[in-house]
Structure 1
Amino acid sequence: MARIEDLAETYGRHVGLPWQRTVAGAQRAIMLVYDKELERTLRARIDVFEVATRRGGHGWRLVDITDSFARWIADDEYREPYFESPEDLQLKLEAEFASDVASRIREALTADGVDENTVVAVLGAGSLFGFTRVSQVLTLVEAEIRGRLLIFFPGDFENNTYRLLDAKDGWNYLATPITLHADGAAR
């Protein structure tokens, strides 16, 4: 079985368990951690996660944030000067970008048909690298998680710390990790 299918099988076992309804938003997050080299394969096989979710008796809503930076900068009336002087963009990124990404996820979390029995899956977390932190975005949306929030996370999880795209620094988050061991076995 391929690694993505191994992850989907492990995820399916996890999502099929009864859900505690009284946990905090941060504990309703699931981080599906995979090697960054598997990004294209995961995108091509995203349907196996939907099938596993539905087999577990839950609804599914997918939100792809891959184009978040492009949308955000395209909507900015001062985008042209930022292209001429990109270093000026840093303050604006720190002040606004995470909130913009969070609003896209929040829109999916609060959409019609999304309830306490729905998994909202976020694809494209790797596209945030260098612009904002996944942890910052998660903190902004955790109060809106009614069911479960599944983050497809290209990176590492080791010693209870998540690292996006092999970044040197990481963060500790209360989400449930689903990973592949170094030998390729899912856990």
Structure 2
Amino acid sequence: MSSRVETLLAVYGRHLTVPWQTGLAAIQRVMFAVYDKSDELRLRANIEAFELATRQAGKQWLLLDVTDAFPDWMMAQDYRDAYFECPEDLAGYPAGELTEFMADLIQRLKPRLLNEAGPETVVALFGVGALFGLARVSMLVDGLKDAVPGRLLVFFPGDYHPETHSYRLLDARDGWNYLAVPLLAKD
């Protein structure tokens, strides 16, 4: 495990020691575990350590990995072959806003939240870097946050700017303001 991933795990573990308040707005129950994009593979190799820290804190863990969400969605489309032959047909969507895909993804994830997540569950959203250029992470978080009864933890490869409360996915897209709790790994 790299020192930055170890640091992020320690920050997350300390955050879990704070008793959870009840009655918080959905946005106040969202955490962003911000890490350097170069640590993606190290984080993937050590995701079980975050689950272990969650369980040791007396909380439940539900991992939602969206890494393959777009390929899975595309394979279910009737016109997928046409899109593969002529990918510029997808250019009709505004950058980062494949709304049909996002609506489908949210609808596929919500039943898991309703069936598997309780008020003491950390729902870990993983693989959001795979959404880059297709959909905005903020759209996904906004679509799920109200359905998460416990806490939503978004593993976010990018950076956070505290002066503006803005997050930038993969350090490449203009950031957006989001009032989630940032968990940061500093060397």
TM-score, normalised via structure 1 length: 0.91
Question: What is residue 78 of structure 1 aligned with on the other side?
Answer: 79
Cα deviation for residue 91 of structure 1 reads 4.3
Matched, 1:176 2:185: no
Distance 1:111 1:91 in 2: 36
Matched, 1:141 2:144: yes
Q: Please say if residues 16 and 57 of structure 1, whose CA atoms lie closer than 8 Å, have aligned partners that are also in contact.
A: no
The sequence identity of aligned pairs, in percent, is 46
Cα deviation for residue 71 of structure 1 reads 0.3
Cα deviation for residue 15 of structure 1 reads 1.6
Distance 2:24 2:147 in 1: 13
SS state of the match for residue 153, structure 1? strand
Equivalence map 1:1-187=2 (5 Å): 2-91=3-92, 94-112=98-116, 114-158=117-161, 159=163, 160-181=165-186, 184=187
Which letter does structure 1 place at the counterpart of 2:67?
A: T
SS state of the match for residue 111, structure 1? helix
Cα deviation for residue 46 of structure 1 reads 0.6
Q: Please say if residues 162 and 172 of structure 1, whose CA atoms lie closer than 8 Å, have aligned partners that are also in contact.
A: yes
SS state of the match for residue 27, structure 1? helix
Which letter does structure 2 place at the counterpart of 1:98?
A: M
For residues 128-175 of structure 1, give each alpha carbon's deviation from its aligned partner in whole angstroms, at most 9, with x where no partner exists: 000000001111111101000111100000131000001240111121
Distance 1:95 1:125 in 2: 16
Distance 1:99 1:91 in 2: 17
SS state of the match for residue 98, structure 2? helix
Which letter does structure 2 place at the counterpart of 1:72?
A: W
**How many residues are treated as equivalent by the alignment?**
181
Would the alpha carbon gap of residues 105 and 173 (structure 1) be closer, same or farther in structure 2, given more than 3 Å must change? farther
Which letter does structure 1 place at the counterpart of 2:158?
A: G
SS state of the match for residue 125, structure 2? strand
Distance 2:114 2:172 in 1: 31
Would the alpha carbon gap of residues 35 and 18 (structure 1) be closer, same or farther in structure 2, given more than 3 Å must change? same
Extract unaligned runs of 5+ from structure 1. none
Which letter does structure 2 place at the counterpart of 1:70?
A: P
Cα deviation for residue 103 of structure 1 reads 2.5
